[in-house]
Structure 1
Amino acid sequence: MAESTMPRLWLLLVPALLLLGAGIIAPLPQTGPFLLAAGSAVLAVAAIMGVFGLRRRQAKRELFRAVARFVEHDKTPTFTTDGEGRVGYRNAAAVERFGDNVETLLGALGDAFAAPAAVLHRLQEQAASRGRAEEEVVTRQGRIRLNTHRMGRDGFLWRLEDLALDGGGRGSDDAALPVLAASRTGTILYRNTAMREVIGDCSNTLDEVFPDLPLRSGEIHEVTGPGGARRWTVVETASAAGRREVYLLPARTLATAPDRQLFDALPVPLLEIAATGEVEMANRLARDLLADQMAVGTPMSSLVEGLGRPVGEWIADALEGRGLNKPEVVRASRPSKEVYLQITLGRIEQEGEPMLVAVLNDATELKTLEAQFVQSQKMQAIGQLAGGVAHDFNNLLTAISGHCDLLLLRHDAGDPDYSDLSQIAQNANRAASLVRQLLAFSRKQNLKPQSLDLRESLSDLAHLLNRLVGEKVTLELSHDPELKMIRADKRQLEQVLMNLVVNARDAMPSGGRIEISTKVLTLREPMRRDRAVVPTGEWVVVRVVDQGVGIPPDKLPKIFEPFFTTKRTGEGTGLGLSTAYGIVKQTGGFIFADSVPGTGTEFSLYFPAHDAPSEPEAEAAKQVSEAPRQGDGVVLLVEDEAPVRAFAGRALRMRGYTVLEAENAEEALKLLEDETLRVDVFVTDVIMPGMDGPSWVREALKARPDTRVVFVSGYAEDSLAEDQARIPNSKFLPKPFSLTDLTSTVHAQFDALAKRGD
């Protein structure tokens, strides 16, 4: 700020001169040199500040000269001002409109629109903080857009762009539409010359002008003025800072040539519809919404659809006065893109014949949000339904998979029935995974990561995937021979791969090939793509490639959004890819999509690479996967479902345990009344008729505090977390569980008892 530096220089020069003078006339020899040195130092500082100030002023002048050369012949009035609003430069267009003697920008615009000081101050504050700002305001000549840009530290460049409402351009104020600006409360802030001729200068509020408030855009209202009441078609739109702008169109007709220009320039999409249902006139914004090329006389029925009844009936009802001012949401019949419109019809008369004026609003975003909300409600209902039946369903799966495990114990791998039994067990596990997937939409599911070799996981999944893709699609697997392990939830990872393969299959209705490949990728620099940054390090990359129809470029960025789908209604929920995205992100990985329409799509999944599990972890995994060990002890099994109780009791007896069975909590407590009865472990269902599992266990532990507990349930573990936290020495086993899961969990509790005894 060079100008503000000059007064500061005088504050330094005066003491500098005083110090120098005092040093010259000082009586003491030691004082004189000290004062001279101090005065010289202050004078040097003043000189440095002066040089910097001159350089800054020169740089500022150069900046303003460069801007002046750039905008000198611009047809838009342009000013430069300082922080106080003083005009430093104006181009020829500004001189032509405002003259050459305007000292401040406020002086030039002081009577052009409502509250100019507040508008200019607001724009300058925004430009000072953000670099630029703009706002549209209504003036006597129509509308202008004020643009301001920050120049240097305290300068601003202002441009006043005309947004004329009429075809005559700037200055044709007499030909402009009557327009006024009002506050939210109805106070009239501004009226142009055309509006003054209609309503005069005495009215200060909207209710003084329009007797039949509230205003209904697109309808005819009586307007009170000096010449009495006249009927006008009113169009209202929201402006900046919460203001309302009201335009008046002649009610007698919108079809005359001068009025067509005004109608076309309106900032609100409008249609004029004849009694035959044909569009007589559409302004520019309406044409942009409905069709790029729309001829006069086009039937409304060919432009919109989706009312649930013929469009002709809707138009006929409106012409009879029924359903007016009631917004209807329709879909524009545009093959190029999906557009939803909210249309409000108003009735007018032209030469004694009824006609309709339609006010349009783009409701595409609103309709999209509504569709997502409806889909969300559907999925919530499915989640609640799944939660309600999960207990029973998981009991059935426990019985199926459990008895299948018992059969597998009596058949070795060479038995002809072994593969069929394995398929039953595997598909029972898949069914259980689907239940958990449904539950994931109603409440958060915790992942249980483990070290996985993708070669083994994909090999186990290959048979089911081949069943899913059908006969017309070929599934090919290939692996990196030096593939490393990853840590992920096995069931959830399988769900991700199933979702991707099913999508690939659906993209190839005529058949084709799906390739699933794995490889190790070492990133020495971060990889940036799709607004994500993949850190350096080793990654295991899984690619799923199809030869399908591909994904259009405009839809590709949206495919991971919940409920977004390119499939027709009823063919997909739009949750498969969003679920896959969430699972991969929870695992610490990334998922990307590349697609070429007509060629195919490739999904790339990046997982952090892990070394082989440590010996303790491997030993623990080995113990779980091995055949259960023989045990010794007494187990009290409490389960209300007879098939589950039969399987669990038989499985535990096969492993050497003495099993006492009870159908409910009351029966279990009655058994425990015998104090001579020894019980080491309680295995109990959580949800049962009468007393639930945690309640009876707490009661039983009062007399048997050292007994270990295994809770089993078809609900998620988090539903038991609070109760389980208050019960010592307890574990949770989710249904459906296998024979190995059950016996391993019970063994772990007996091992804990043995260690405590030691």
Structure 2
Amino acid sequence: MLARLAAVRWILGSFGVLALAAALLFGGGVEVIALLSVGCTFILLAVSAVIARERQRADLAGLVNRIATMTRNDPDPVLITGLDGRLLECNSAAQTYPSCTPAAMLATWTADPEAMVDLLTADALLQGHALRDFGRPGASLRLSVVRLDSARDLAEQGELLVWRIVRGAQDRPRAVDALGLPVLTLGAEGAPVAANSTMRHYLDWSPSAGVPAPEPVQRFLDEGIAGIAAGSCRTVCLPVSGESVTCLAFAVSGHDGQLDVVFLPLWLSAQANVPNTRPDFDDLPVALMQLAPDGRIEATNRQARALLGLAPGEAPFFWEVVEGLGRPVTDWFEDARTGRALNRPEVLSATLPAQETFVQITLRRATGPGSEQRLVAVLTDATEMKSLEARFVQSQKMQAIGQLAGGVAHDFNNLLTAISGHCDLLLLNRDHFDPDFSDLTQIQQNTNRAASLVRQLLAFSRKQTLKPELLSLESLLEELTHLLTRLVGERITLTLDHDASLGTIRADRRQLEQVIMNLVVNARDAMPMGGEIRIETRGARFKTETELGRVRLPAGEYAVIRVIDEGVGIPVDMIEKVFEPFFTTKRTGEGTGLGLSTAYGIVKQMGGYIFADSIEGAGTTFSLYFSMEAATRTADVAASRRDTVFVAASESAADEPDSGMAQNSGAQKTEKAPKPKRANAQTEPEGKAEPSRVNAIILLVEDEAPVRAFAARALRIQGYQVIEADSGEQALEFLADSDLRVDIFVTDVIMPGLDGPGWVARAIKSRPGVPVVFISGYTEDTVSAGLARTPRSVFLGKPFSLEQLTSAISDLLAEYPPDARRLKVVGTDRAD
């Protein structure tokens, strides 16, 4: 405590001398005694303070000497100083430095050594110690300072601190190495001493590697960050992977006294205009845009502008560039702004692009200064997704129509069988002079047209019966050209260009001719002013799987048939709809819209591919691809040809179906239906028939009463004895009578309860060898499994004529003649 008075020792002594002088002037009394006491006291305090100070100085010198003695052989430099940096003592290791002060020793390690010493001194006074690590390429340094408790009074006055410096050979990791932002650390005189991992990745160079900086990096160091001060920022061009990226360099003074320069995106600058100074935002591979609170588009990057059809700087409202949400886009925006519809993607249609574009948009809240009530929209191109969705829906629709067509065909064929059959029965007893003959003929013709329409539906649904064979395209087209020439008329030229090197294909001859005729009629209708229709065949070889249109064709050799016209073409928005059933632009009654859909179904069922290419106003090309057989078997082809007589579609406009547009019409090639032999009505009246037929007994099983009535009457007219049953169960009841003789079974395939193949399989166990005629409104391939298990059977599809029915039965009876026995017959006395 007395040592603290040493600083005012002269003042205390002066007061004591003045007090003694005043006592001499008064000469006596109490006042003199008091002044003498005060003067002596002040003089004693001054002398005591001086003695105490000198004693403490001696103690301090002894303490310093003892510390110096203990650290004399220490390999690390040790300094004893005061707060002012005045050196009191140092060991021999510290004497190797030119100047034995903490600031001098840190001169090459930190940008501001004086400030660093002051900071460490303050920390030591408050905490009792302080510690800092410093680094530079290839080395590191740790500086520690300790306040001595034994000299606390002196230390509080800043007179005694002990400094220790420890040097290392390796760099110490710094916290900035874990940052995602690039950071460059500058040491003394602004020289780079370290870089974090992000900066090393950007520059492809590290100052601690001992390798000279590349020329772009050195220019950046000399011109970009030279002389940068702590707390300041500047715009620099950072060399990244050979390119120059503009960013903001912000200098921060670290705890170790080194300068950390952090490189930030330029748009974070307070002086930057956010919408216009974001080159990195503009180059992002994700489409982004920022929406103002009122819904106006404030900022977009390049990807977003390309999707939405916006020009740079254009800022319409959000709901002006998208639509098709199902509710007002403004409502969706308000919900998102209030937080009710955030992060929920929606698919909308962009209104500005020339072509149809769909975008998936997710709205999120914007973050950062000045982003209150603003939204960020993340956009994704959803055009392909919507296209796939539309194609999937279209595929489902086409499949549903096909299933519907197959189901309708069965019931419709039953009705047509009854109508056509009873019409044939009426025509048996009438000739051309009968007043009802023309009406019956019209009924028969319209029934045939209805049956043709059902066949088209079955062709589209790929449920028709095909009879594939080896075909030579050259012979097929040569035979078909004569009919096609009559079909197209005089104003149109038909040209055939065939590749003679083509092999054979496996297809149904009749159905393939149907397809070609439909395509030629399409071409004819597309050229009302005349022109040329070209049919050409070519070979195509694909070494690998090849994509054509939306189809991937397997590798192999293909025969290609092209039908090319010079017509009006097909609009782009309709080209994908031409193969849809009932798609037509013609007036009611001028076409059914099934021409191309029939062709599509036939080609696909035969394992081929059909494509349509068109340029509006320049013509259309339909291409058919069929896989060629490995070897050409000419003999098999010649043996498989069938002589078929066709009716030209041009002979009757009413018999020419149309697919529904100028390029979507179809022609029907139909076999001439054999006319019923009316002579039988005159030469063989009802009840009188050939002896061979009288002996034949038929079990007719049909659940549809009108069909069963027609068939039973028609067969009896032809002289057969008929037993009628309305179900398979009833047929088995009849056959349970062992005395009943049956020469042939005629049965429907699909019936409630026990179906045709089911009851026949039971019946032939006890009556082997009985032939069977299966009749059905479904196609043969749908019941082929049941027919394959039944020997001596044929299939007759509905609707069938009287002659077709009797011909099928007579052929089977001729091949498998019945026994001569006549047994009990049940049901022969039923009324016709």
Under TM normalisation by the shorter chain, which class is it?
A: 0.5 to 0.7
Cα-to-partner distance string for 1:41-91 (whole Å, 9 max, x where unaligned)? xxxxxxxxxxxxxxxxxxxxxxxxxxxxxxxxxxxxxxxxxxxxxxxxxxx
SS at structure 2 position matched to 1:281: strand
Q: Structure 1 residues 413, 697: closer, same or farther in 2, change over 3 A?
A: same
Give me the whole-angstrom Cα distance separating, in 2, the residues matched to 1:594 and 1:513: 21
Cα-to-partner distance string for 1:711-734 (whole Å, 9 max, x where unaligned)? 222234344333333322222223
Q: Does 1:603 align with 2:622?
A: yes
What root-mean-square deviation, in Å, do the aligned CA atoms of Structure 1 and Structure 2 show? 5.8
Partner of 1:742: 805
For residues 385-464 of structure 1, the aligned pairs below 5 Å read: 385-406=404-425, 416-417=438-439, 420-421=442-443, 423-437=445-459, 439-440=461-462, 447-449=466-468
Q: Does 1:359 align with 2:428?
A: no
Partner of 2:195: none
Match among 301, 316, 321 for residue 303 of structure 1: 321
SS at structure 1 position matched to 2:791: coil
Match among 367, 385, 391 for residue 372 of structure 1: 391
TM-score of the superposed pair, with normalisation by structure 1: 0.54
| Greater C-alpha Rg | 2
* Residue 504 of structure 1, CA deviation: 8.4
Partner of 2:365: 347
Partner of 1:338: 356
SS at structure 1 position matched to 2:376: strand
Shifted more, 430-439 versus 253-262: the winner is 253-262
Partner of 1:710: 773
Match among 269, 282, 288 for residue 306 of structure 2: 288
Give me the whole-angstrom Cα distance separating, in 1, the residues matched to 2:617 and 2:239: 51
Q: Does 1:170 align with 2:189?
A: no
**1:255–1:281 CA contact under 8 A, matched in 2:** no
Partner of 1:237: none
Cα-to-partner distance string for 1:186-243 (whole Å, 9 max, x where unaligned)? xxxxxxx99999xxxxxxxxxxxxxxxxxxxxxxxxxxxx9xxxxx9xxxxxxxxxxx
Give me the whole-angstrom Cα distance separating, in 1, the residues matched to 2:744 and 2:706: 21
**2:266–2:277 CA contact under 8 A, matched in 1:** no
Q: Structure 1 residues 513, 456: closer, same or farther in 2, change over 3 A?
A: farther
Give me the whole-angstrom Cα distance separating, in 2, the residues matched to 1:174 and 1:344: 33
The AA in structure 1 aligned to 2:349 is R
Cα-to-partner distance string for 1:139-198 (whole Å, 9 max, x where unaligned)? 966699xxxxxxxxxxxxxxxxxxxxx9956349999799xxxxxxxxxxxxxx99999x
Q: Structure 1 residues 255, 689: closer, same or farther in 2, change over 3 A?
A: farther
* Residue 643 of structure 1, CA deviation: 1.6
**1:714–1:735 CA contact under 8 A, matched in 2:** yes
For residues 68-83 of structure 1, the aligned pairs below 5 Å read: none
* Residue 590 of structure 1, CA deviation: 7.2
Cα-to-partner distance string for 1:433-486 (whole Å, 9 max, x where unaligned)? 13313543xxx65522478977998999999x99xxxxxx9996958799x999
SS at structure 1 position matched to 2:366: strand
Give me the whole-angstrom Cα distance separating, in 2, the residues matched to 1:598 and 1:649: 58
The AA in structure 2 aligned to 1:713 is S
Give me the whole-angstrom Cα distance separating, in 2, the residues matched to 1:254 and 1:651: 97
Match among 277, 285, 291 for residue 295 of structure 2: 277
Partner of 2:335: 317
Shifted more, 349-358 versus 324-333: the winner is 349-358
Any gaps of 5 or more consecutive residues in structure 2? Answer: 1-176, 181-197, 205-234, 253-259, 586-591, 647-670, 678-689, 821-832
* Residue 612 of structure 1, CA deviation: 12
Q: Does 1:656 align with 2:719?
A: yes
Match among 707, 710, 715 for residue 647 of structure 1: 710
Q: Structure 1 residues 708, 615: closer, same or farther in 2, change over 3 A?
A: same
Give me the whole-angstrom Cα distance separating, in 1, the residues matched to 2:813 and 2:408: 33
Q: Structure 1 residues 744, 584: closer, same or farther in 2, change over 3 A?
A: same
- Give the total of aligned pairs: 517
* Residue 427 of structure 1, CA deviation: 1.1
Q: Structure 1 residues 677, 578: closer, same or farther in 2, change over 3 A?
A: closer
* Residue 400 of structure 1, CA deviation: 3.2
Q: Does 1:545 align with 2:545?
A: no
Q: Structure 1 residues 312, 458: closer, same or farther in 2, change over 3 A?
A: farther
**1:395–1:641 CA contact under 8 A, matched in 2:** yes
* Residue 270 of structure 1, CA deviation: 0.1
Q: Structure 1 residues 477, 682: closer, same or farther in 2, change over 3 A?
A: farther
Partner of 1:488: 508
Q: Greater RCO between the two (CA within 8 Å, min separation 6)? A: 2
The AA in structure 2 aligned to 1:685 is D
Q: Structure 1 residues 613, 460: closer, same or farther in 2, change over 3 A?
A: same
The AA in structure 2 aligned to 1:366 is M
Give me the whole-angstrom Cα distance separating, in 1, the residues matched to 2:760 and 2:482: 43
SS at structure 2 position matched to 1:367: helix
TM-score of the superposed pair, with normalisation by structure 2: 0.50
Identity in percent = 42
Cα-to-partner distance string for 1:372-404 (whole Å, 9 max, x where unaligned)? 222223333334444444432221232234344
Q: Structure 1 residues 536, 333: closer, same or farther in 2, change over 3 A?
A: closer
Shifted more, 167-176 versus 676-685: the winner is 167-176
Q: Structure 1 residues 518, 667: closer, same or farther in 2, change over 3 A?
A: farther
The AA in structure 1 aligned to 2:565 is V
For residues 227-306 of structure 1, the aligned pairs below 5 Å read: 256=274, 260-291=278-309, 293=311, 295-306=313-324
For residues 630-641 of structure 1, the aligned pairs below 5 Å read: 632=693, 633-641=696-704
Partner of 2:795: 732
* Residue 292 of structure 1, CA deviation: 5.3
Give me the whole-angstrom Cα distance separating, in 1, the residues matched to 2:451 and 2:477: 18
Give me the whole-angstrom Cα distance separating, in 2, the residues matched to 1:591 and 1:174: 51
**1:517–1:542 CA contact under 8 A, matched in 2:** no
The AA in structure 2 aligned to 1:322 is R
* Residue 535 of structure 1, CA deviation: 7.3
**2:570–2:620 CA contact under 8 A, matched in 1:** yes
Q: Structure 1 residues 620, 741: closer, same or farther in 2, change over 3 A?
A: farther
* Residue 512 of structure 1, CA deviation: 3.5
Shifted more, 612-621 versus 732-741: the winner is 612-621
* Residue 322 of structure 1, CA deviation: 1.3
The AA in structure 2 aligned to 1:374 is V
For residues 657-672 of structure 1, the aligned pairs below 5 Å read: 657-672=720-735
Q: Structure 1 residues 617, 624: closer, same or farther in 2, change over 3 A?
A: farther
Match among 744, 759, 764 for residue 696 of structure 1: 759
Give me the whole-angstrom Cα distance separating, in 1, the residues matched to 2:593 and 2:269: 48
Q: Structure 1 residues 689, 418: closer, same or farther in 2, change over 3 A?
A: closer
**1:652–1:659 CA contact under 8 A, matched in 2:** yes
Q: Structure 1 residues 431, 574: closer, same or farther in 2, change over 3 A?
A: closer
Cα-to-partner distance string for 1:306-358 (whole Å, 9 max, x where unaligned)? 10112111111111111110000111114521211110000236637411100
Any gaps of 5 or more consecutive residues in structure 1? Answer: 1-110, 115-137, 145-165, 179-192, 198-225, 227-231, 233-246, 467-472, 568-572
Give me the whole-angstrom Cα distance separating, in 2, the residues matched to 1:412 and 1:515: 45
* Residue 625 of structure 1, CA deviation: 6.9
Give me the whole-angstrom Cα distance separating, in 2, the residues matched to 1:296 and 1:340: 20
Partner of 1:131: none
**1:475–1:514 CA contact under 8 A, matched in 2:** yes
Q: Structure 1 residues 278, 574: closer, same or farther in 2, change over 3 A?
A: farther
SS at structure 2 position matched to 1:395: helix
SS at structure 1 position matched to 2:278: helix
**2:532–2:566 CA contact under 8 A, matched in 1:** no
Give me the whole-angstrom Cα distance separating, in 2, the residues matched to 1:684 and 1:196: 98
Give me the whole-angstrom Cα distance separating, in 1, the residues matched to 2:778 and 2:742: 26
Q: Structure 1 residues 285, 500: closer, same or farther in 2, change over 3 A?
A: farther
Give me the whole-angstrom Cα distance separating, in 2, the residues matched to 1:709 and 1:170: 90
SS at structure 2 position matched to 1:377: helix
The AA in structure 1 aligned to 2:514 is E
